[in-house]
Amino acid sequence: MLGRNRSAILLLALVTTLSLSGAAHGQARSNKALLTLTKLSEEFEGLTKRISPAVVRIIATGYSPTGAGATALLGKQRSTGSGVVLDPNGFIVTNAHVVEGARRTQVVLTHRGPARSGKPSILTPRGRIVGAQIVGIDRETDLAVLRVQETNVPFLSLGDSDEIKKGQVVLAFGSPLGLENSVSMGVVSAVARQLRPEDPMIYVQTDAPINPGNSGGPLVDTKGHVVGINTLIFSQSGGSEGIGFSAPSNIVKNIYQQLKEYGRVRRGQIGADLQTVTPLMAEALGLQSQGRVIVSNVEPHGAADNAGLRVGDVIHALDGKNMENGRQFEVNLYRRAVGDYVLLEIQRGTVQKTIKIEVTERPDDPGRFSEMVTPERNLVPRLGLLCLDLDDTIRRMLPRLRIKSGAVIANRTNLFYEGDQFQPGDVIHSLNNQAVTSVADLKDIVSGLRTYDAVVAQIERLGEFMYVSFELE
């Protein structure tokens, strides 16, 4: 317990120590210390009161196997998480893992009743439960956007996560273990923690107590700005051990805006590969500056090539920020949206230049198919899939195909498939041993199946065949 609350204890101890260091010199100094602590407490109370109405509890209901082996059955499961409203028109950010697989999603909004005179009750009314629509999910960052059909909803603004500092005081809001609208306090332990080597996704590490159910709730600075979305914890016990991770607000902002506008995330690139300049590389290439980034490959006719970037260029800064290694470059580029421009400060031999390069969409991003479909034309309702015919245009976007016909999955409207059973870009070639050469074929075959029939689809993914099996609902 001491470890979990150490931030609060240390902060209060610090304030008390600073204020009481001269307590022996008189009662006046002691009174000043009490006033300082009281003021600090009032500031946190006011901040919590302002933040809490925009924090919601999320209830996700779905189906999962119960039991084991041959006796396993599908049973209804209900899980909870947290979210934060970022738009008064009801747009909410949470974690993808909170709602992924849900057949029904609901949101508990904070109660907003008329103001009453007199002393308020310490027991606040329960919030309203309303239905929520999943606007979009991004598994790569574990973020999702929901929407409730409400207006004038209390909301918060995203802050600048580049401005947060190690040791800064933060508050974590959410519904840990289902305890609606709780708040805990801690400090920022690290500002850019990578959980896997070379992973462009980074996290804000905090020791603010975060437990199951906090996922999707906001990490807030003392100004009331959302600087992160609480995502995961490292724990040996299953509870908080002071090692929690939040998706930084600058990445959240990019993902939120894209999911809100397009329903998916378009990944950016500049058409160049980069490496860290090692001491050995610097010596062999005659580079005076070490710890920088060198361009190892430029894609012909890509954005970087068209802008004038060349193999061997040494990159010193990206948008004014010094680049110390290739990983840092990828992390900073990761949160740039397609259509943005970046300014690279480079050195070519003895010449220093600034190059402006457009961020373009990754050519291999399967999510791009979702912009080519509409529910009216492309939906296979009983499968919950939006599909496209594998014509010449689509074929050019899917290299290495072994069978040149089928139905291409553009997106999933239902999220009850387990794991990666169906993914955008998969090509369905057969269903229960019946050939699928078009979306029309797929619809015809499905129309002949009954509820709870066993279904096996043969799909092709990145040049490899595999089977996907499930029970038709």
Reply yes or no on whether 215 is catalytic.
yes
Q: 19, 82, 97, 184: which is the annotated catalytic residue? A: 97
Long-range contacts for 255-259 (Cβ within 8 Å, ≥24 apart)?
255/138, 255/141, 255/143, 256/86, 256/91, 256/93, 256/143, 256/145, 256/158, 257/337, 258/136, 258/337, 259/135, 259/136, 259/137, 259/138, 259/143, 259/144, 259/145
Reply yes or no on whether 405 is catalytic.
no
Q: 7, 215, 240, 370: which is the annotated catalytic residue? A: 215
Reply yes or no on whether 79 is catalytic.
no
Distance CA 295, CA 273 (A): 6
Q: 142, 207, 221, 441: which is the annotated catalytic residue? A: 142
Q: Which residues are catalytic?
A: 97, 142, 215
